[in-house]
Structure 1
Amino acid sequence: MKEIFILLVLFSGFLVLKADKTIMLFPKQSITDYMTLKPVAKTLRQITVCLRSYSELTRGHSLFSLAMQNLDNAFLIFPIPPNQISISINNEDIYFRVDPEVLDWKHTCVTWDSGTGLVQLWINGKRYPRRVSNSKTPLGPKISVILGQEQENFGGGFDQNQCFVGELSDVNMWDYVLPLKDIKSFLNECSTLCGNIYCWVGGSYTVKGKVLTLTHQSYHMGQCKST
């Protein structure tokens, strides 16, 4: 097993982990293949979610689904190829027109501040025009976070026509709005920023169905290459 080097970056309030990246492969359209993340339980007045994805899908699909017991789309990242993405905040759908999809790894970050309602979207380091959500209601503290499926109820109610098929990696969550310089660092340095409420490296999760675990050594990931 290769040695994993961990660099603590104290001035920015998070960890940067120089590590072998785990990739989760969702191989087929189904309602049985998914991954449940187990973030720190707390009330979220701000949130940042960053992830990397690689997919050939030409239909709408869920990249990240956060539900509460009485709210299915509490925080949903839902691309609609070729050039649109929907961000749902407390069941309010906010649409962004984005650059057309290309077959390559894609880095997506979304932030939301309940105090101002401000929603920000970055894809591959590019920030799109900001939106403002009408909802000011915080998320949590009890939440269900699922990758690979969209939740129509708390932890379930999946529709195979909304599932994700492809590869996911570097899914991290913060309880604050991540600064732009850190988002760009994540993209440009091919490092894994460790979220303070969920960290992809070492975070707790469960896998259902035929989801496969792959490693960065065997699979090219955009500009990131193993040494």
Structure 2
Amino acid sequence: LSFLLCVVWVAALCSFIVCNVDSMLFFPSASAENYVTFALTLPDLPELSVCLWLRVEASHVDPVYRRLPTSLLLDSRWHHLCVLWSSIQGRFWHYSDHRLTSSGSNFRKGWEIPGGGSVVLGQEQDSVGGGFDASEGFAGQVAGFRVWNRVLSPPEVEGVADGRACTTSALSLDLKTEQKHLYSPGQKTPACY
């Protein structure tokens, strides 16, 4: 199967579950070809917040992984996730569906994610922009993907999840504004719905 990247305008979807989302990526199957990259250069990152909506069919996941804590996300429903990290504080936070589900301290304090690199959705990178393996691919839907170069406050995380507030994405890595920077090797012309 060739890669099917769907950039979908989902205004109608907002009235159901996914709110304040303008576009969506669809990964029909896990493969080494089903991924997208943002053609942008990243700055050094001493702090980071990543939020997105995610929908995964349990049938797309190897049975070994179904026993992991992530299995709560494998129910074919939309889930909102935010992961925040601060090198300055040496802390991380993980929010799932409006709730702080885990946090930790003494994690990479004083460390910085080096600039450059690449942002890839749908695959795990073994090297910058490559080294993909079909067994590490993602199958499902991603919407409302946004990245910030700071730690969002709890009210900001709640606002993004509820669709009440859309904090400006300082890194401009959001699907709405960066569609022109998305690249998919599996299909020359993305299919749009």
Q: Which residue of 1 aligns with 2:15?
A: none
Letter in 2 for 1:207: S
TM-score under structure 2 length normalisation: 0.75
Specify which structure has the higher proportion of strand.
Answer: 1
User: Could you say which residue in structure 2 is the equivalent of 1:73?
Assistant: none
Equivalent in 149, 164, 170 of residue 196 of structure 1: 170
Q: What SS does the aligned partner of 1:130 have?
A: strand
Within 5 Å, give how 1:26-45 maps onto structure 2: 26-39=27-40, 41-45=42-46
Is 1:84 matched up with 2:44? no
1:58 lines up with 2:22 in the alignment: no
Of the three residues 64, 78, 94, the one matched with 1:121 is 94
| Map of 1:184 onto structure 2 | 158
Distance 1:213 1:116 in 2: 42
Superposition misfits of 4+ residues, deviation over 6 angstroms: none
2:126 partner SS: coil
Give the direction of change, closer, same or farther, for the CA distance of 1:202–1:52 in structure 2 (3 Å limit).
same
Query: Relative to 1, partners in 2 of residues 1:127 and 1:178: Cα closer, same or farther, differing over 3 Å?
Result: same
Residues 107 and 213 of structure 1, relative CA distance in 2, 3 Å threshold: farther
SS of 1:173 mapped into structure 2: strand
| Range with bigger deviation, 193-202 or 123-132 | 193-202
Q: How far, CA to CA, are the matches of 2:168 and 2:67 in structure 1?
A: 30
Cα distance in structure 2, aligned partners of 1:20 and 1:46: 24
Q: Distance in 2 between matches of 1:100 and 1:179?
A: 24
- Asked whether the 8 Å contact 1:24–1:212 carries over to 2, the reply is no
For the structure 1 residues 81 and 179, does the alpha-carbon distance in structure 2 shift closer, same or farther, using more than 3 Å as the test? Answer: farther
1:147 alignment partner, one of 103, 107, 121: 121
Runs of 5+ consecutive residues of structure 1 not aligned to the other structure: 5-17, 61-79, 86-97, 216-227
Q: Which of 188, 191, 208 is residue 185 of structure 2 equivalent to?
A: 208
Identity %: 21
Residue segments in structure 2 that go unaligned for 5+ positions in a row:
1-8, 12-18
Aligned partner letter, 1:84:
P
